[in-house]
Amino acid sequence: MNDFSNALSTAFALVTSLDRDLFEIVGLSLEISLTAVLVATIIGLPAGAALALSRFPGRRPLIIVLNALMGLPPVVVGLVIYLLLSRSGPLGSYGLLFTPTAMVIAQSVLVTPIIAALARQTVADLHEEYDEHLRAIGSGPLQRMATLLWDGRFRLLTAILAGFGRAIAEVGAVLIVGGNILHSTRVMTTTIALETSKGNLAIALGLGLILVTLAVSVNAAAMLLGETAHRRYG
Amino acid sequence: MAADTTDTNGLLPMVVDAVSYRAGDQALIDHVSFRLEDSRRTVILGPNGAGKSVLLRLCHGLLAPSAGAITWGGSTPAATMKRRGLVFQRPVMLRRSVAANIEHVLKTQGIGRDRRRGLVSAALDQAGLKSLAHRQARTLSGGEQQRLAIARAWLLEPAVVLLDEPTANLDPGATRAVEELIIRLGATGAKILMTTHDIAQARRLAEEVMFLHHGRLLEHRPAVEFFAGPRDPDAADFIAGQLIN
Ligand SMILES: Nc1ncnc2c1ncn2[C@@H]1O[C@H](COP(=O)(O)OP(=O)(O)OP(=O)(O)O)[C@@H](O)[C@H]1O
Ligand SMILES: [Mg+2]
């Protein structure tokens, strides 16, 4: 117990003293996860909207697969990306393994299904309500997509925040494809795992505190956003 | 004034020829035929479930007939959709401000930003919604939502405006405001084709009445004649205020 309180006070000291190494790690975490979420949003929003609005054979199975992909185990994603990017893999020539780019790719793969699946649901619900009006005013397919994405903006933002929450907290995929290299690919979750196993509880706890704070704020933001939208738009 | 016989941009005559609409083995619209020749206000009158909403959707091209054909000035409903406005029984309010709801229709038509601003402000004025321009549309009262829906349908100087029970669920004050708007809309030369189950409203607004019951068109006559003495016994009972089945 004493160990724990010692570690906790050191952790606080580290965080409040703005320790340089600590903040490098936090910075890289944010950079990688935000980039991954951006990529996932750019792919996931239109893909989800298109899936909601188009009709083609095999669409329903595809939606089921997409929803299932929301629960992809990060280590498996890490493993597959590892195999693709490793020297002998099909994308090995790019030399991306153990770089932040590889970590962005892995997290994008994890987050894109979340954003796409939630975007599909949001757009499909709104479409049911808006369809006749949009048809009556002669809205084209792209205009229709734009209208529905815009009017679903609050729910979509919630989806994006959920994606960010998953990316920033995930350890399996970034550990495998990033390699946890100091000053290069070390992020909050991988550092916590490593330092805990080395018995370095202070830095692990310090990062843990920051991570929890981030996760809680993101969730709170998502909730507030949902409530605000509900109050404003009914 | 509204009874002039201008051709309303070639959308008239509108011809409905032996149209049926079936869902399963039930005929919701049963072999209906009629012609609309001029821009008088036409009211489709009938009790709940008569098929008024289905008929109006068929007219606008949102539903395709199971049998028969509908033409507007010789063209299909779908091809002429943009020259008509439609106000639904339960209007769709986009999750945007009142002004943005109006502007959205203009954007859909590819109208540039500069022209949009003037048109939005004119439409807000027309519908008496100026002071509510920045309110979220979904927080408007029922009557205000109907007026917004009419303003949206009115925007592009439509030759014809279809309105589906525009005052169902409104109190007398809101009903009067909506009816005045409809009369003004008709006075611009637009053909009004609306539905109602409210006999008093039909008396106030109709220049021509169509009586629809169980998906069948039982009467189609000038309003004065219709109210003086309907030929159809069900129609007679209905305007006498009796329950019909
Ligand atoms: N898509 C559909 N499938 C099956 N039945 C339908 C469908 N749409 C409408 N109906 C039925 O067709 C009948 C006519 O419906 P419609 O909405 O046109 O009536 P209405 O005259 O507009 O009634 P109200 O005055 O209540 O609005 C009703 O019995 C309704 O339940
Ligand atoms: Mg109806």
All structural domains of chain A with their residue ranges: 2-233
What does the pLDDT average to over A58-69?
Answer: 94
Which ligand is in closest contact with the Cα of B197? 1
Q: Note whether B206 and B44 are within 8 A (CB).
A: no
CATH superfamily label, A2-233: MetI-like (1.10.3720.10)
pLDDT at B1: 42
Question: CB-based contact (8 Å) between B176 and chain A?
Answer: no
State the number of CA atoms in the 13 A half-sphere of B212 facing the CB.
29
Tell the burial category of A225 from Cβ atoms under 10 Å away from its Cβ (0-12, 13-18, 19+): middle
Query: Minimal Cα distance from A234: which residue of B?
Result: B138
Near ion ligand 2, which residues have CB within 5 Å?
Answer: B 52-53, 89
Nearest CA residue ID for atom 7, ligand 1: B23
Q: Does the pLDDT value for residue A73 go beyond 70? A: yes
Q: Note whether B70 and B234 are within 8 A (CB).
A: no
Question: CB-based contact (8 Å) between B78 and chain A?
Answer: no
Residue A102, sorted as left (phi over 0), alpha (psi -120 to 50) or beta, turns out to be alpha
Question: Cβ contact (<8 Å) for B105 and A137?
Answer: yes
User: What is the per-residue pLDDT across B18-64, written as a single tens digit (0 to 9) for each?
Assistant: 999 999 999 999 999 999 999 999 999 999 999 999 999 999 999 99
Question: Cβ contact (<8 Å) for B92 and A132?
Answer: yes
Q: Note whether A85 and A100 are within 8 A (CB).
A: no
Strand pairing class (B160-164; B67-72): unpaired
| B62 contacts in chain A (CB < 8 Å) | 132, 135-136
Q: Does the pLDDT value for residue B3 go beyond 60? A: no
Question: Cβ contact (<8 Å) for A133 and B109?
Answer: no
Instruction: Give the closest of B108, B136, B139 to A137, CB-based.
Output: B108
pTM to 2 decimals? Answer: 0.86
pLDDT at B7: 52
Question: Cβ contact (<8 Å) for B81 and A136?
Answer: yes
- If one residue of B30, B52, B196, B201 were mutated to test the ligand 1 pocket, choosing by the most ligand atoms within 8 A of its CB, it would be B52
Confidence of residue A15 (pLDDT cuts 50, 70, 90): confident
Question: Cβ contact (<8 Å) for B108 and A136?
Answer: no
Q: Does the pLDDT value for residue A219 go beyond 90? A: no
Cis preceding-peptide flag for B230 (omega within 30 of 0): no
Residue range B14-93+141-239 in CATH 3.40.50.300: yes
* Nearest C-alpha neighbor of B222 from the set B207, B200, B211, B244: B207
**More confident call, B9 vs A179:** A179
- CB under 6 Å to ligand 1: residues? B 23, 28, 46, 48-54, 89, 165, 197
Q: Does the pLDDT value for residue B5 go beyond 50? A: no
Q: Collapsing DSSP states into helix, strand and coil, what is residue B100?
A: helix
Minimal C-alpha gap between A125 and chain B (Å): 13
Which atom of ligand 1 has the smallest separation from the CA of B28?
12
Minimal C-alpha gap between B108 and chain A (Å): 6
Distance B214 CA to ligand 1 centre (A): 10
| B108 contacts in chain A (CB < 8 Å) | 137-140, 143
B12 DSSP β-pair partners: none
pLDDT at A20: 86
Nearest CA residue ID for atom 26, ligand 1: B48
Minimal C-alpha gap between B228 and chain A (Å): 36
Which sequence spans correspond to the domains of chain B? 14-93+141-239
pLDDT at B8: 65
User: What is the per-residue pLDDT across B141-158, written as a single tens digit (0 to 9) for each?
Assistant: 999 999 999 999 998 889
* Nearest C-alpha neighbor of B180 from the set B108, B128, B237: B128
